[in-house]
Amino acid sequence: MIKAHCHANQKMMRRASRVHLNELNKGKAAILVTFLVLCRNATQYFIDLFWQRQDFSNKLADLKTVHRGCHRFGITTRLAQALAKHAKECARSAHTRSAPKPELKRRVVTLYSH
């Protein structure tokens, strides 16, 4: 693991880290890619849902919306809530910049943010 931000003061909490998976075997790599694709699809689903509803508030997604994602993609409520939060941030950012609806292309997941 490589630290994303090297701090001189070691008493500070690390906020981000990068993990390189160069020596990962093919089976585990396939599982990881499947998980990332599932998360990307669920996040895009939430973006489409918020964009359709014109819901660009800074509030968290309601439980009914989160459970729709849980049942549709077979993921846990906690994961669906994190993905819905990320999707709402993407949709809100695009709306404030008057940009078109975001389309996720990369397989990147933000599981926790403030």
Per-domain residue ranges of the chain: 41-114
Q: Which residue has the tokens 């699809």?
A: 41
Decide: 73 and 80 in contact? Cβ < 8 Å. Answer: yes
Instruction: Give the span between the Cα atoms of 56 and 94, in whole angstroms.
Output: 9
pTM of the model: 0.76
How does pLDDT run across 38-85, given as a tens digit for each residue? 999 999 999 999 999 998 888 889 999 999 999 999 999 999 999 999
CB 47 within 8 A of CB 95: no
| Model pLDDT for residues 16-43, shown as the tens digit of each residue | 666 677 788 888 888 888 999 999 999 9
